[in-house]
């Protein structure tokens, strides 16, 4: 009898291993999300100094490889397309499993848009779930935040076992362990568009009860972390889609400071970034590479100085960063050539 149980246990273990990892191979691209998150899993454990948490605006704002060149600290954008405000605590948990950064930088933009996973449709919700490895954290994210939604049309089981959704896809063997190195370190280049500069206000407006509860949960989560936490709002442009955006930013900033955390509203410092509304954006909430360079050039040295971040350039353990920077320079040139072509052609 024990021998039969042992065989059954071994079979089950092998089956679950193959099921999980073949699921990773079948997953859809999920826009930039899969590349970003699987690239994070591929990093050497506890090798990051700064982790950025946020949405698509976040991964268009900061260039980790530029920060590496200029300051020498290791950073990564742990971001998904359209992160929901209620996802952020789970994203923090996921990011901190394999890294112990000195600083965690959290973009509050999802609180401004008011988007909550489970209530933004199946495709956007999957940005927040299907990039993560199977784990208790992912299970709880789906159980607590997705399953109570009313507007999802796909099978609930397909969120827990996403191979049901992606089974018809071709296999991508390189993603067997959900770990695919990402030279851009979570930065994603946007294209080009014209925007209007942001306004200003000293007014502070409260959030909806649901968003207020999400913010409280996030602050409680951060209070238990063994690292510095900085909340930010990037110098995004015209916020015409969200008329109370800047007043909401002020309110969130007050709540964050009251909880004992640092907060920077970079939108209020917009003039100091030297941004050009005709060249540096894709849309009001996303920068192209020219804008991201300016944002990074201002923020990276301030992070390095404020948090006494180490300079790893030339260290043996970070040789891959030095090597990947050479590849990054080629990517950077391609991103800029694309933008210049679009500007010439008015695209």
Please count the other Cβ atoms lying within 10 Å of the Cβ belonging to residue 319.
Answer: 11
Distances (CA, A) of 56 to 32, 59, 247, 277: 9, 5, 22, 19
As a whole number of angstroms, the distance between CA 261 and CA 156 comes to 37
As a whole number of angstroms, the distance between CA 105 and CA 233 comes to 10
Distance between alpha carbon 299 and the CA centroid of its chain, in Å?
Answer: 17
Q: What is the per-residue pLDDT for 150?
A: 67
As a whole number of angstroms, the distance between CA 173 and CA 169 comes to 12
Q: What is the per-residue pLDDT for 29?
A: 87
CB 111 within 8 A of CB 118: no
CB 282 within 8 A of CB 193: yes
As a whole number of angstroms, the distance between CA 132 and CA 125 comes to 12
Distances (CA, A) of 115 to 6, 88, 124, 208, 317: 47, 12, 10, 11, 40
Coil, helix or strand for 214?
A: helix
Q: What is the per-residue pLDDT for 12?
A: 84
Q: What is the per-residue pLDDT for 186?
A: 97
Q: Note down pLDDT in tens along the chain; length 347 residues.
A: 578 888 788 888 888 888 899 899 999 889 999 999 999 999 999 999 999 999 999 999 999 999 999 999 999 999 999 999 999 999 999 999 999 999 999 999 999 999 899 888 899 999 999 999 999 999 999 999 999 886 788 999 999 999 999 999 999 888 899 999 999 999 999 999 999 999 889 999 999 999 999 999 999 999 999 999 999 999 999 776 788 999 999 999 999 999 999 999 999 999 999 999 999 999 999 999 999 999 999 999 999 999 999 999 999 999 999 999 999 999 999 999 999 999 898 77
């Amino acid at each position: 009898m024990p021998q039969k149980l042992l065989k059954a246990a071994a079979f089950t273990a092998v089956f679950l291993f193959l099921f999980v990892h073949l699921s990773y191979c079948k997953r859809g691209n999920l826009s930039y999300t899969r590349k970003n998150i699987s690239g994070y899993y591929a990093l050497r454990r506890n090798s990051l100094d700064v982790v950025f948490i946020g949405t698509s605006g976040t991964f268009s704002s900061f260039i980790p490889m530029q920060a590496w060149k200029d300051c020498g600290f290791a950073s990564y954008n742990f971001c998904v397309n359209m992160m929901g405000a209620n996802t952020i605590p789970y994203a923090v948990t996921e990011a901190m499993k394999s890294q112990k950064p000195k600083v965690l930088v959290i973009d509050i933009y999802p609180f401004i848009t008011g988007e909550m996973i489970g209530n933004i449709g199946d495709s956007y919700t999957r940005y927040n779930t299907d990039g993560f490895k199977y784990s208790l954290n992912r299970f709880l994210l789906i159980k607590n935040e997705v399953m109570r939604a009313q507007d999802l049309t796909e099978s609930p089981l397909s969120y827990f076992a996403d191979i049901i959704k992606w089974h018809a896809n071709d296999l991508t063997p390189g993603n067997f362990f959900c770990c695919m190195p990402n030279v851009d370190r979570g930065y994603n280049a946007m294209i080009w568009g014209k925007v209007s500069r942001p306004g200003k206000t000293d007014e502070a407006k409260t959030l909806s009860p649901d968003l207020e509860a999400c913010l409280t949960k996030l602050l409680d989560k951060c209070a238990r972390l063994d690292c510095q936490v900085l909340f930010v709002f990037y110098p995004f442009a015209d916020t015409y889609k969200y008329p109370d955006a800047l007043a909401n930013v002020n309110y969130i900033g007050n709540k964050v400071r009251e909880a004992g955390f640092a907060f920077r509203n970079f939108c209020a410092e917009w003039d100091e970034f030297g941004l050009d509304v005709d060249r540096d954006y894709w849309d009001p909430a996303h920068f192209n590479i020219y804008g991201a360079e300016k944002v990074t050039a201002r923020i990276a040295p301030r992070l390095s100085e404020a948090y006494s971040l180490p300079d790893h350039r030339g260290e043996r353990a970070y040789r891959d960063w030095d090597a990947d920077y050479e590849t990054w320079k080629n990517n950077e040139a391609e991103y800029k050539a694309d933008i210049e072509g679009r500007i010439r052609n008015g695209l």
